[in-house]
Structure 1
Amino acid sequence: MAEQDPITPAPENNGDDAPQAATIAHYVKDLSAESPSAPTVFQWTEQAAIDVQFGINGTKVADDVHEVVMKIDVKATSAQGTHFIVDLSYGGLFAFRNIPEEALPPFLLAEAPRLMFPFARQVVANAIQHMGFPPLLLEPVDFGAAFAAQLEAEQTAQAADQPGGAGEPPVGNA
């Protein structure tokens, strides 16, 4: 009996049961860029403080297809006022096959944003530059570490809610 090549799937399954993930598309879902203090902002000499906020959401849109939306809010302010505001919702469609539901969150909330971030970062930089400011290149984000921290926080909160946990003591006797 000949040995089966480990790379080539056996003829009876044709590799149809192998886990697969693919990017279908990336797109700007919503973009708002404004400089409410223009044109006087261009005469200000004070350096602006930049505040950047991220949010990530993954939803199922069809069988084996999920949408991931990365929300990036950037606001530049100084004592003189608001220099600019950019609100971006950057979406991505991802197809999955033969991946269990419990394995999806790490991909949807860590790996997909990692793949999308360079493109979203460029949209933000271009929007700011088109308003007349120097482009802002956002620092790389470790989405894997952020996902792990979120999981840890949820587990800690769940443990605190359990009787005998670190939260409120149980009321009464059972």
Structure 2
Amino acid sequence: MTDAAPPADANTPAPAENGAGAPAGPGFRILAQYVRDLSFENPKAPDSLRIDGKPAIDLGVEMNAQGRKDGLFEVELRLTVKATTDAMTVFNVELLYGGLFALHGVAEQEIEPMLLIECPRYLFPFAREIIARATSDGGFYPPFMLDPIDFAAIYMSRQQQIARGPEAAKV
């Protein structure tokens, strides 16, 4: 696999092409990025802005992808962050961040890993910034910064769970 090429602009050189004018090697282009849904809750403000110590963080990560009739793919990254103390919910952020991708030169067996590992890896820094900005705008300083996420490990764990069958999912 190859890393994603950034969106083309005047400062970005065009990717290497083969003789037919198509980019060389497998990869993808991102055609659009968007916030589908964003929710920020600070239910105990202003008291939540003055807590002692660090709150417990519960992080949820989901990746979903689907093909479209036009041959493009929609990839969604759902991030949920809930910060709590023994006494209160400090904040709760839910973000559904998406991208529209065009794949090229990707073998059929590599499409799913490309969509659920590489594409979310590209979307993550933008989603991370949105969450940081939401917590900052909510009055938290420093803003909450998500640690990097290993999308390959999440994908592999999901594949192992599927291989074990529906009974393993209930555990």
Q: What's the TM-score once normalised by structure 1's chain length? A: 0.76
Q: Say how many residue pairs are matched.
A: 150
Deviations 1:7-37 (CA, angstroms, capped at 9, x unpaired):
853xxxx256975521111111110011011
Check if 1:64 corresponds to 2:51.
Answer: no
The reply to whether residue 137 of structure 1 matches residue 145 of structure 2 is: yes
- AA aligned opposite 1:91: G
For residue 62 of structure 1, give the secondary structure of its aligned residue in structure 2. coil
Is residue 88 from structure 1 mapped to residue 95 from structure 2 by the alignment? yes
Distance 1:89 1:140 in 2: 17
Please tell me the residue identity of whatever aligns with 1:28. Answer: V
The one-character-per-residue Cα deviations of 1:78-135 (angstroms, maximum 9, x if unpaired) are 1121111100000011012454543311011111011111110111011001000121
**Partner secondary structure for residue 137 of structure 1:** coil
Alignment partners' CA distance in 2, 1:44 and 1:138: 20
Instruction: Identify unmatched segments of 5+ residues in structure 1.
Output: 1-6, 162-174
Long gaps (5+) in structure 2: 1-16
Query: Deviation above 6 Å: which 4+ runs of structure 1?
Result: none
SS of match in other structure, 2:165: helix
CA RMSD, aligned part only? 2.4
Relative to structure 1, the CA distance from residue 20 to residue 44 in structure 2 (aligned partners, 3 Å threshold; closer, same or farther) is: closer
Q: Which has the larger radius of gyration?
A: 1
Alignment check: 8 A CA contact 1:44 1:80 kept: no
Residue identity over aligned pairs, in percent, reads: 37
Equivalent residue letter for 1:68: V
Distance 1:56 1:66 in 2: 13
